[in-house]
Amino acid sequence: MRDKLAIGLAAAASALLANNLYQMFMVLPDEALQGAIYRILFFHAPAAMVGMIGYFVALTFSVLYLSSKNFLYDSLAASIVEVSLVFSLVNIVTGSIWARIIWGIWWTWDYRLTSALVCILIFFGYLVMRRAIDEPTQRARLSSALCIFGCVDVVIVWKSIEWFRNQHPGPVLDFRTGGGKMDPAYSHVFWLNFLAILLMGVALVLIRTRQEATAREIDSLRRLAHTAA
Residues binding other proteins (CB under 8 A):
66, 114, 118, 121-122, 124-125, 128-129, 132-133, 137-138, 141-142, 144-146, 148-150, 152-153, 156-157, 160, 163-164
CA distances from 62 to 80, 111, 147 (A): 11, 28, 7
Query: Among residues 108 and 114, whose Cβ is nearest to other proteins?
Result: 114
C-alpha span between 94 and 37 (Å, rounded): 10
Q: Which is nearer to other proteins, 156 or 228 (CB)?
A: 156
- For 102, the enclosing helix (H) or strand (E) is helix 71-102
Q: In the complex with other proteins, which residue's Cβ is closer, 41 or 74?
A: 74
Based on CB atoms, which residue is closest to other proteins, 127 or 213? 127
Nearer to other proteins, 11 or 155 (CB): 155
Residues across the chain? 229
Other CB atoms within 10 A of residue 70 CB = 13
Are 87 and 51 contacting, i.e. CB atoms less than 8 angstroms apart?
Answer: yes
- Give the residue ranges of DSSP H helices in 29-70: 41-68
Q: How far is the CB of 118 from other proteins (least distance, A)?
A: 5
List the one residue out of 213, 193, 215, 216 whose CA is nearest residue 3.
213
Give the angle 178-184-188 at the CA atoms, nearest 5°.
105
Shortest reach from residue 134's CB to other proteins, in Å: 8
Q: In this structure, what are the phi and psi dihedrals at residue 61, rounded to the nearest 5 degrees?
A: -70, -30
C-beta of 164: minimal distance to other proteins in Å? 6
Distances (CA, A) of 54 to 51, 62, 115, 130, 187: 5, 12, 16, 18, 22
**Closest approach of Cβ 40 to other proteins, in Å?**
26
CB of 161 to other proteins, least distance (A): 10
d(CA 175, CA 104): 30
* Smallest separation (angstroms) from other proteins to the CB of 70: 15
Of 111 and 186, the one with the shorter C-beta distance to other proteins is 111
